[in-house]
Amino acid sequence: MSNPLLADQALPAFDKICPEHVEPAMKTVLEELEAQVSSIEAEAAPSWDSVMKPIEHISHRLHMTWSPVGHFMGVKNSDELRAVYEQVQGQMVTFSMRISQSKKLYDAYCAIRDGSEWSDLDEAQRRIIEINIRDAELSGIALEGDDKEQFNNNQIRLAELSTQFSNHVLDATKSFEMVLTEKDEVAGLPDSALALAAQHAREHGHDDASKENGPWRFTLDFPSFGPFMDYAERRDLRERVYRAFIVRASEGDLNNEPLIREILQLRKQQASLLGYADYAAVSLAAKMAPDVAAVRDLSDKLLDVCRSMADKELQDLKDFAKEKGATEADDLRHWDLNYWAQQLREERYAFNDEELRPYFSLPKVLDGLFALAHRLFGVSIEAADGEAPIWHEDVRYFKIKRENGEDCAAFYLDPYSRPADKRGGAWMNDCVGRGINTDGGTRLPVAHLVCNGTPPVDGKPSLMLFREVETLFHEFGHGLQHMLTTINHAEAAGINNVEWDAVELPSQFMENWCYDKASVDEFARHYETGESIPNELFEKVKAARTYRAASLCLRQLTFGAIDMFLHHDFDPNFDGDFWAEVNNATDAFNILEPLPENRFLCSFGHIFAGGYAAGYYSYKWAEVLSADAFAAFEEVGLDNEAEVKKVGRKYADTVLALGGSKPAAEVYRAFRGRDATVDALLRHNGLIAN
């Protein structure tokens, strides 16, 4: 029991876990749980208590041992951890299939569904059993002999490929650096970007680096890459960075192209073994969208609205660049778009992102975010640093209480970019899920909120870009659904069993409050003077919300189109020009034709190393829901505090509380009283008149 991964405690011992603990811990726990599964299978008269309860305890035990390992792969990656993760991952997949393909468990689920106990179960329990039956069928429960062996081998291989894909992207991202020494090379860059670049330089051997005199080290990590593409005046350097970005993980030992091809082949095989036409059909079997046609119908509706507007937005950039005397004005390339978009945005709305940073220090933003959660949902959030083990000194810990003062949840916040060992992007993961412990007590949920924001630099607090504020609100929205659930059955609590194309609803919903003045006034205060953000400046931020909205919408639609093409239309055994096929599939969405060498797919972790395969459309599908949900608050008046509170509590009691205990469409109707429409999304994005 000296192994921290086996410790019987409420939270993982993040401060003690090391790579050498993983293999012996997993060996011990898998042997223990295998015996428990066999005991459940031997149950002669299956019931909820004899089957479902012990299965839930097995899942929790496994999660508490394996989840910290996966978490460390994202936030504390190392060669040692990778080696042992890859060694053990196959055993984990095998055990998972052992449960999902157990004919005895499947028969037990069916017996409960068809037996006399069914009418006594609550709605969440019935849904859990129905989903277990569905998932068993999608996991190959009906397969036998060679087909079953092939299916299982494919699953193990797919897990290996996913891990390799993610590792390649992390390594390729951190392998690029551009160290600049001349001031003309960094012309146009704001002080914040120069300070971060100098700090990165100092961390990599340039001890005397300063924001004023350099040298400055730039990377493909977003807090470095984003500002460079937005502000750097040197077009040749923007091109260099952009070209490096679009070929990440596509060359040499880190080349993900062979992995992509194998992943697509294996997914197609899995679909065929299960009796489906393609992997998209497998994916959609567990989602809100009924079929590919429904997904493409939404995409086509948005494309019809956005296409001509996006073309005009590009022409606006060309006209502006020409007005400013840019030689490239008539032939803007990919590395020009962000730069000229930023220049036009600043002129059109008379502000830039750097003016906002002083008003968005992370401590103040957190204060405002927590105040908003209290205002809408009645919960109180308190810092609890030191009460839980952490994996890095920057990580913080918070507790959440309901209006009656009872503890209901907690979360870790890992806010800053660490390119050396932390993957890019932002995410929420469950650390602990709500459920019932073996002693009968309620187990409270704990979340991981992980961002890659701008770290503190030169003694100043983290001064956030506005889009980093939106990202924090987004991930907090995911966390709220995990943490404010009231369902005690673990498999239907929080985000569990919420259809994937609805799971972005709470996250995208929270982003809307970044444009509500009353909410922003709670946190947008100058980090030095305490002065509130000027009304004039905030109104400019609101006005700029719809800037280039059509182009941004097309970008998301492009990703969704590539994803659905690969998993529905594409023959993975195609031996022609793969990249030409990919580009042709998105031709209708492209504002600029992709460069011939573009290999963005090689770093598209969402569909090759995440959960979005044949599901990237979910962002837009859920954005329809989130915009329509926010419209419920607009309809009562955002300044009508009593009504906002009433709607907020209803949202908490449905969308946040019910989790996967009901189909997402029913949960939404319980909140809104009707199905969502696309109108609010189009209005919020300025794609139709208010």
- pLDDT tens digit sequence for 10-22: 999 999 999 999 9
Mean pLDDT of 89-97: 95
Picking from 415, 406, 498, the residue whose alpha carbon sits closest to that of residue 444 is 406
**Does 1 have pLDDT greater than 70?**
no
Cα-based torsion angle of the residue sequence 22, 611, 168, 594 in order, rounded to the nearest 10 degrees:
-170
Predicted local confidence at residue 635, as pLDDT? 98
Predicted local confidence at residue 8, as pLDDT? 87
Predicted local confidence at residue 44, as pLDDT? 78
Chain center to CA of 400:
22
Residue that the structure tokens 């208590």 belong to: 49
The CA distance from 231 to 238, in Å, is 9
Q: What angle do CA 606, 608, 613 make, to 5 degrees?
A: 70
Picking from 546, 544, 547, 553, the residue whose alpha carbon sits closest to that of residue 591 is 553
- Rounded to 10°, the helix 618-636/549-564 angle is 140
Predicted local confidence at residue 605, as pLDDT? 96
Helix, strand or coil, per DSSP, at residue 532 = strand
Predicted local confidence at residue 210, as pLDDT? 96
Q: Residue 531's CB: how many other CB atoms inside 10 A?
A: 12
Predicted local confidence at residue 689, as pLDDT? 73
By the 10 Å C-beta count (0-12 exposed, 13-18 middle, 19+ buried), 133 is classed as middle
Picking from 364, 410, 359, the residue whose alpha carbon sits closest to that of residue 383 is 410
**Does 572 have pLDDT greater than 90?**
yes
Please list the residue range(s) of the chain that carry CATH number 1.10.1370.40: 357-496+503-528
**How many CA atoms lie within 13 Å of 173's alpha carbon, on the beta-carbon side?**
26
One-letter amino acid at 289 equals A
**Does 519 have pLDDT greater than 90?**
yes
Predicted local confidence at residue 208, as pLDDT? 95
The CA distance from 645 to 377, in Å, is 7
Ramachandran region of residue 38, left (φ > 0), alpha (ψ -120 to 50) or beta? alpha
Domain 4-100+102-138 carries which CATH code?
1.20.1050.40
The CA distance from 662 to 682, in Å, is 28
Structure tokens at 464: 């956030």
**Does 688 have pLDDT greater than 90?**
no
Bridging pattern class, strands 407-416 and 427-432: unpaired
Catalytic residues: 475
Q: Quote helix, strand, coil % in the chain, to nearest 5.
A: 60, 5, 30
660 contact partners, CB below 8 Å, separation of at least 6: 127, 131, 487, 491, 492, 493, 494, 495, 496, 497, 498
Predicted local confidence at residue 600, as pLDDT? 95
Structure tokens at 8: 């019987």
**Does 676 have pLDDT greater than 60?**
yes
One-letter amino acid at 176 equals F
State how far the alpha carbon of 183 is from the alpha carbons of 31, 56, 180, 188, 232, in Å.
Answer: 61, 60, 8, 10, 11
> E strands within 461-560?
none
Contact between residue 581 and residue 574 where contact means Cβ atoms under 8 Å apart: yes
Please list the residue range(s) of the chain that carry CATH number 1.20.1050.40: 4-100+102-138
Contact between residue 238 and residue 229 where contact means Cβ atoms under 8 Å apart: yes
Helix, strand or coil, per DSSP, at residue 306 = helix
Contact between residue 630 and residue 509 where contact means Cβ atoms under 8 Å apart: yes
The CA distance from 389 to 385, in Å, is 9
Structure tokens at 107: 């028969």
Share of the chain above pLDDT 70, in %: 100
Contact between residue 124 and residue 492 where contact means Cβ atoms under 8 Å apart: yes
> Using omega within 30 degrees of 0 as the cis cutoff, is the peptide bond preceding 363 cis?
no
Share of the chain above pLDDT 90, in %: 96
Residue that the structure tokens 């004005």 belong to: 329
Chain center to CA of 249:
20
Predicted local confidence at residue 690, as pLDDT? 66
- Which CATH number, 3.40.50.2300, 3.30.1360.10, 1.10.1370.40, 3.40.120.10, labels domain 357-496+503-528? 1.10.1370.40
The CA distance from 305 to 553, in Å, is 10
- Which of 71-75, 421-425, 601-605 bottoms out in mean pLDDT, i.e. has the lowest? 421-425
The CA distance from 165 to 250, in Å, is 11
pLDDT digits (tens, 9 = 90+) for 628-637: 999 999 999 9
The CA distance from 365 to 476, in Å, is 12
- Rounded to 10°, the helix 292-323/549-564 angle is 140
Bridging pattern class, strands 427-432 and 446-453: antiparallel
